[in-house]
Structure 1
Amino acid sequence: MQQRGKPVFKEKFVELSETIFKGETTFTNDPTTFWDTYFLLPINTKCIFEFIETTSEESLLGRRNNINSIFSACLERMTASDITTAVEQTRQINAIILLTCLVRALFKKKRLSQFNIIDLLTGLDKADASLGKLISALDTLLHQQVTKSYSLSLAITLSAGNDNVNQNSFNGYFMHHDLSTTLFSVIADDLSSDVEVRNATMLLAMLSNYNKYETRNPYLHVLSQYKQESVLEKLATIYTDILNDMTRKYQLLKDEDESITKSVVTYMSSWFPGSSKTPFIDIDNAHTLIDFPPADSAMLLLLYDLVNTNPRFISMITRSITKSNNNTSGNTTAAIQPFSKLLVSLLTFASYLFQHNRNDRSFVYTKLVMLILLRFCEETRLLTAMVGQETEQMVRLCRQRPPPLPKVKKPRFLLCAIIDDLVLFLKHNMRKKLDMATYKLSLSVMHRILSFLYKRRIRLDYHWTELWCTLTTVLHFTSVHLDQLKLKSQEFNPFLASLLTVFNMCVTHGEVFLHDTKSFDSLFYEIIRSSDDFMALSHYVTESSIAGKKGQTAMTTSSSDRSPPLSSNNFANIRTICNHFKPALEEGQVAQQIKYPSPDQVMALIQEHFATLTLAPMDKLEQFSPYTEIPNEMGYFRYLLRMVVGDYLTWTMTPFL
């Protein structure tokens, strides 16, 4: 006699869900009882995903009536006003969870269009009324502590779509019903959990960037005008924590404080059995850095929007720098302290991000951080605060890749740390496929700093020789790879023009902002050492200008680019320096019978002949066009938005995947 197998247990929620997704309509016989029972059961999100994943798009569309019924039942519970018992509260929460799961699963079906998904949820004829009602319900539920977290997850799922926020029709309904005030209230609420605040912040970022170039975006408008300092302070604290957490993840890659002796001992100890072995991480292996920068970087989008559009946010950072080191007590100092910490944390994180820029994601986030630094360096009051008396601070910078910058053991002006970040970027990102757009951006940040120092007649105590060596290294790399780089003239010409502008600022106005004559002499030393590279690039510019006059090409930048034009005049003073010192250097070599003069001998010659050097005046070197996101960066921010949403969903929405 054959023994019967035990029946497979199937939980009630799965059993009822099968009847819906298989197209059965028995639930319509007594819909009130069915849905009351259904929403009391624990939601099995995994089974919902499996049902939709294993059902073809055509079959789903054939069962739109049943899916419409799920949406309608969820919406009915979400909009219910008589939630007075724990049972009704459970039904409401389960309705939100179910709808979140349903929407997320439908967006993962690649062959379902936006119209297909709306048709499946509401029917096209009822879309405006039903989805408008849904957003209004979310507005109400976000104000209730018990439903806040679930409602934020649903709102993010609706707004994110399949990660293409700008192409997501659901966001049009968020624009018609502005939730910005509600989202700020969630951030401000002391009862909101860290996850809820983070989700509200990210949702605000997504909605603020939705089609912002095509129509007026109400979220971006509110963000730019927001003045509640306690909330801005809370955002500063949130970002400080996120930046510090991401920095710690980078620091786990390599012990930056490990001395040569310690590293040898560690290596030798691994020979002996029983010794504790520290796993070796090859930071030069691109696969090692595949998860870097951390997905938390997605949150930086709203930080950029605040820095770029909100004057109050910049003002609070400025005040925090000037007052953070004062010993005065009071609410004002306490309120602005987080902004000073935010800036320090950002500069530290930037140093790690810039040194480990090894994949497409890191390139995109590197540019975002560089744009934040650019905006900082266009704010004169902020720059002034960064070099004010008693505003020095310690900023830890990444030392995981050689050669590291000189280790500074005392507090210094924050402006020095920004220059250090730029130097680290320039040093550690020279590759055959040079990211010329971001290099130009970093040089633009440098130009703004030098222009500020020159206009304010501020002598900055900084290890300038590190900057000179880095700039000439970039120059040499450019000269060596000129044949490849010049093929992309629309990127190369603005990049080269920016590089020469920085050189010319230092040559022409360096006496104003360099803190000692030795720094100025070392600049001329590096220029003389790089004379062949300067001449090669000068020849390229001259030849291209001649060809441009013949109608073959042009040295001007594109109409959308606001960088200075490139011409042979950019090399005028550089040529003068080389032509002035090289003959004197050659004469000295002959007179002293020296084949290879030492750096000290060259520096002595520079000091001896400097008085007879005459440089041509270069007008308007300190001027620059203020940063504008439109039209230059529109394509970049559309691409960034998709990456940010993808990273955030991966980071936070795992339970629904």
Structure 2
Amino acid sequence: MYGLVLGPSPVAAAPATLREKFRRTRGFRNCARIRGLDAVAGASSMLSAYVGNNRSVAATVASTQRATLAKLGPIFADLVPGASTLRSPSTRRGEVSVFVMPSPSSAFCIAYGQLLAGERPWEAGDATSSRRSEKSNAGPRTRYFQDLLALPVDCAFLVDHLAPISPTDLLDERYASRTDNLTAIWKEALRTWAEDTDDPQRVCHAIDTLLALASALLPKPYTNYTLDVITLLAGRMEEVDDMFFQLMEALDDTLRRPVSPADTLRTRQQTSALFLALVLTACVSGTSLSAYMLHRDIFSASMELAQHRVSGSILSETALLAALLATAGHVHGTPQAAGLGLDSISSAVVSHVGFQPYVKRVREYASSPVMARFAHAFSVQAAQMVQVYQAVPSTMDAQAWGAGWWPWASRPAPPTVPTLPPPALCTILAIWVWTHSSHTFTQSMLVPRSGEPLIVTLCSLASYVLTHAASSARATTYAHTMLQIFLALLGPTDGRTTNAVQNRLLEDEEPASQAASKPMLIDRIRLCRDKSNPLPPHPKSGAKRPRRLLVSVLDNVTLFLKYNRSKRLDTSAFRTAFLLLQRSIMLCAQQQVRLEYDWMEVWRASLATIAFLVSRQHEFGSEAASVAQNALETLSLALVQSDRFLQSPSETHWLIYELARAQETLTKAAEWIAEPRNMPWALLWDVLQAVHTHMAQWREEAQTSAATSFFRRSHTNEPVSMHTILSMIQELDLASLLAPEKPACATIVRQAQSSSTRHQHHGVPSVPLALLRFIQQDILAMLRAYY
């Protein structure tokens, strides 16, 4: 309540005195005290005019009640936005109490507006006093913040008001009072949470306050991230250990505490604590501050939370927290490129020493039953994101999803940038980590206890993510992560062993589907068809009807190669895509699976990628040349293994036909790559020369000009018919050209096997800093909905 002492002035003069007082103080700067802000419906303001103990004066006040309220109402309404109509005053011992009912949000905004302006509302007096010590000011300030924590937290207000402040201004000595206020708010909210008083509502507000401040302050690109964050949150270097230890203990205790679904306040506390842990881990995991996450076993706490919470979204976010903790310190990339702040202490020390306990925890929980719950939650979430892709136009304003709401994002989104992928896709990191780390999780992806298998919804979602990968840097980063998940599912193809996941991907679904009278999983996957010239629909019958899940992986890779050739080419993602094709070919060849699939779209997308790179080779560097080399390796491997994975020799002939059509492009690519002992190109050249020899013989027999084009139409000559060219290709001695014992063929197979082993992660993968930055942004965007 706000109380203002006026003294024994005549009642008739009271309204004028109040008006002048309010105008001069501009909004309760000289309020004598603030007490019990939650006394009236959680956020009431009481204006008390003390007119002494004279009962006659009090009676006079009561008789002029209506006139006084009529004059005070407009004054107070101007000072407190959102104030409601004044209620009738009561008289007690000469005290006139005029209640004004602003909304809780209004009271919160007024208080924080003053704090962020560097004011100290707990100090009395009109004149600006000199800066007082924390010790002398601790009592009034603590009472003030405790009253403030009784108000519901408007997180969006705090974030919106702190977002425009640059890191330099935030730490500038000119605004030291604002920095002191932020530090004091953080410490008092943390103390209230740690003490966990018998007021769960106040504790809930304390956690929400910490969450809002963390969301606003931690993602900023500070010059020296560790030191600047310590300055903001702890105030002094000597207090940083106590502050972070207290924070970790409060997080650990809250996440572990079993909560009844009926206890809404405790449930809210736990959910806010989970989001706070997500923000903390995502923002500091690439810095030396991540070492504080080891003070308590937050990983085990998050897994305990997953065991007793049933909400699908909470399970997804808990799995994401566990993945962030497991990969903390295991990041790579350039901080500046990712838009992150710089840390004076290298995270490599933390990577190799500090976070081994959490890597151990990953191994301990890898076979836990909670993995199946994670897979089910991700499946539901993936299905929801597919619906978002299908419902939201790709040209909609990015602000609708919060993709560009953060002002220092690495690339601010203009209004025309697509809104997709949705922020919830940040949980893809958890799928990536658990696919690498947990066999139980991958088994649950393919054979769940209930619901749609994650592999179905994930492949459907991947088709949208990979089709639109070139729309933004964020979309490209997530698309590459999706390709990495498929790579982890396929596993190594060194020929030594096969695992259950590989067998399941290559398993013929038709017998089991017919026995159970259910559609095959491959038939339940819905591919994206948003762009022109989509992939042709799969046949519903015949030899080319897909019956294995590996087909969906090939479809997704083809979509990526087909629709994402641009000047901002992500070379690492394209290399991963070609590596996926190589592993798919090797798996089929090793298990003698002649895949029911029309490979023509794969070959054409691969050759079109090479043509694009060659045409832009002056714009691209050596990284792009490596992509062209990967494409040549893929095509040569397909030729060598063609009799083991293609259904008929005619498919091999069609592959050679496509290679012959692209001979000029392939030759330019080989010259650009200029790699000595390039075995893939050597094999392709031998095959192309054999085709050329047959064409020359045909020219002699047909007595046609050497200028006759086999593939290009001109104004003077018609191209040679496709049937004629295929007849020439059929005459090739492929048994000798592609003999397994041929040095070039043997080398190509060995390279594919060694590449599979070289790119196979064991344990927790390393997270690119760019991906971590986008995950930060999307966690903050998801918080908007939570606010």
TM-score with structure 2 setting the length? 0.66
Give the CA deviation at 1:33: 5.7
Look up the match of 2:326.
208
The correspondence for 2:457, drawn from 345, 348, 357, is: 345
Listed one character per residue, the Cα deviations across residues 42-100 of structure 1 (whole Å, up to 9, x for unaligned) are 334466567767896435534666555544433333233663xxxx1222212222233
2:721 corresponding residue in structure 1: 598
1:574, CA displacement in angstroms? 1.7
Q: Does 1:199 align with 2:317?
A: yes
Contact 1:64 1:121 in 2 (8 A): no
Summarize the Cα distance change of 1:96–1:436 in structure 2 as closer, same or farther, 3 Å threshold.
Answer: closer
Q: In 1, are the aligned partners of 2:426 and 2:779 still within 8 Å (CA)?
A: yes
Deviations 1:506-527 (A, max 9, x none): 2122111111121111112112
The residue type equivalent to 2:643 in the other structure is: E
Among candidates 19, 22, 27, match of residue 119 of structure 2: 22
Counterpart in the other structure of 1:404: 534
1:226 aligned to 353, 365, 368, which one?
365
**Among residues 411, 417, 437, which one is paired with 2:552 in the alignment?**
417
CA separation in 1, counterparts of 2:244 and 2:503? Answer: 50
The answer for the alignment partner of 2:630 in structure 1 is 498
Match of 2:689 among 564, 575, 579: 579
Give 1:69-84 correspondences, 5 Å limit. Answer: 69-80=184-195, 83=198
Does 1:642 find its partner at 2:770?
no
Structure 1 residue corresponding to 2:575, chosen from 429, 440, 443? 440
Q: Residue 131 of structure 1 corresponds to which residue in structure 2?
A: 244
Q: Distance in 2 between matches of 1:390 and 1:156?
A: 41
Aligned residues: 580
Deviation for aligned residue 1:124: 2.7
Which of 150, 157, 161 aligns to 1:40? It is 150
What is the rounded CA distance, in whole Å, between the counterparts of 1:46 and 1:426 in structure 2? 40
- Once the two structures are overlaid, the 10-residue window that deviates more, 61-70 or 305-314, is 61-70
1:519 corresponds in structure 2 to 651
> Which of 370, 374, 377 is the matching residue for 1:235?
374
SS at structure 2 position matched to 1:621 = helix
Amino acid at match of 1:513: F
Counterpart amino acid of residue 93 in structure 1: C
Task: Name the residue aligned to 2:642.
Answer: 510
Q: 1:144 to 1:96 in 2, by over 3 A?
A: farther
Q: Is residue 281–residue 290 contact of structure 2 (8 Å, CA) maintained in 1?
A: no
For residue 565 of structure 2, give the secondary structure of its aligned residue in structure 1.
coil
Residues of 1 paired with 2:617 and 2:217: CA distance?
50
Asked if 1:304 corresponds to 2:415, the answer is no
Q: Is the contact between residue 14 and residue 47 of structure 1 (CA under 8 Å) also seen in structure 2?
A: yes
Q: Mark the runs of 5 or more structure 1 residues left unpaired by the alignment.
A: 256-284, 321-333, 545-554, 556-565
Alignment correspondent of 2:202: 91
**CA apart distance, 1:502:** 1.4
Q: CA deviation at 1:209?
A: 2.5
1:324 alignment counterpart: none
Deviations for 1:575-603, whole angstroms, at most 9, x for unmatched residues? 22222222322332453467522111211
- Of 176-185 and 53-62, more deviation after overlay is shown by 53-62
Question: Is the CA contact 2:593–2:644 (under 8 Å) kept in the aligned structure 1?
Answer: yes
- 2:566 corresponds, among 403, 412, 431, to 431
The answer (yes or no) to whether the contact 1:107–1:162 under 8 Å persists in 2 is no
* AA matched with 2:210: L
Q: How does 1:530-545 map to 2 (within 5 A)?
A: 530-541=662-673, 544=674
Q: Deviations over 1:258-279 (max 9, x none)?
A: xxxxxxxxxxxxxxxxxxxxxx
Question: 1:94-113 alignment to 2 at 5 Å?
Answer: 94-107=205-218
* 1:567 aligns to 2:677 (yes or no): yes
1:128–1:503 Cα change, 3 Å: same
Is this contact kept in 1: 2:149–2:205, CA < 8 A?
yes
Query: Aligned partners of 1:14 and 1:431: how far apart in 2?
Result: 47
Deviation at 1:181, TM superposition (A): 1.4
- Structure 1, residues 245-299: CA drift from partner, whole Å, max 9, x if none? 22222223679xxxxxxxxxxxxxxxxxxxxxxxxxxxxx996552122212111
How far 1:448 moved relative to its partner?
0.9
For residues 656 and 775 of structure 2, what CA distance do their matches in structure 1 show? 44
The one of 75, 88, 100 aligned to 1:6:
75
Q: Aligned equivalents of 1:173 and 1:162: distance in 2? A: 10
- Matched residue type, 1:512: R
Residue 637 of structure 1 and its aligned partner are, at CA, apart by 1.1
Q: Conserved in 2, the CA contact under 8 Å of 1:49 and 1:101?
A: yes
- Alignment correspondent of 1:551: none
Q: 1:492 to 1:92 in 2, by over 3 A?
A: closer
Residue deviations 1:515-569 (CA, integer Å, cap 9, x gap): 112111111211222222233333445xx4xxxxxxxxxx4xxxxxxxxxx6343
* Letter aligned with residue 302 of structure 2: L
Whichever residue aligns with residue 354 of structure 1, its letter is L
Letter in 1 for 2:203: Q
CA distance in 2, matches of 1:128, 1:568: 57
Residues 431, 367 of structure 1: alpha-carbon distance in 2 compared, 3 angstrom cutoff? same
Identity %: 20
**Which residue is equivalent to 1:384?**
503
**Partner Cα distance (1:65, 1:420) in 2:** 56
- Counterpart Cα distance in 2 of 1:576 and 1:612: 13
For 1:14 and 1:483, the matched residues in 2 are separated by: 56
Amino acid at match of 2:75: K
Cα separation, 1, equivalents of 2:112 and 2:616: 62
Distance 1:198 1:150, change over 3 A: farther
1:147 equivalent among 263, 266, 269: 266
SS of 1:40's partner is coil
Query: Deviation at 1:629?
Result: 5.7
What's the offset of the Cα at 1:464? 1.9
* Counterparts of 2:608 and 2:158, CA distance in 1: 57
Give the Cα–Cα distance (whole angstroms) in 2 for the partners of residues 517 and 131 of structure 1: 66
Question: Where is the helix percentage greater, Structure 1 or Structure 2?
Answer: 1
Look up the match of 2:420.
Answer: 292
Instruction: State the SS of the aligned residue for 1:23.
Output: coil
737, 743, 746: which is aligned to 1:619? 746
C-alpha distance in structure 2 between counterparts of 1:359 and 1:138, whole Å: 35
Task: Report the CA distance shift for 1:177/1:456 in structure 2 as closer, same or farther (over 3 A).
Answer: same
Conserved in 2, the CA contact under 8 Å of 1:209 and 1:641?
no
What CA distance in whole angstroms lies between the structure 1 residues aligned with 2:303 and 2:563?
39
Give the superposition deviation at 1:198. Answer: 3.8
C-alpha distance in 2, partners of 1:367/1:60? 43
Query: Aligned partners of 1:478 and 1:109: how far apart in 2?
Result: 37
CA contact 1:224–1:306 (8 Å) conserved in 2: no
After TM superposition, the structure 1 stretch with the greater mean CA deviation from structure 2, 391-400 or 412-421, is 391-400
Which residue, out of 146, 163, 176, partners 1:61?
176
CA deviations over 1:196-226 (Å, ceiling 9, x no partner) = 3343233323322221252342334323431
CA 1:119–1:573 in structure 2 vs 1: closer, same or farther (change >3 Å)?
A: closer
Partner of residue 477, structure 2: 364
What SS does the aligned partner of 2:369 have? helix
Counterpart CA distance in 2 for 1:59 and 1:78 is 31
The offset of 1:431, in angstroms, is: 2.5
The 3 A distance-change label for structure 1 pair 298 and 152 is: same
Contact kept in structure 1, 2:558 and 2:602, CA below 8 Å: yes
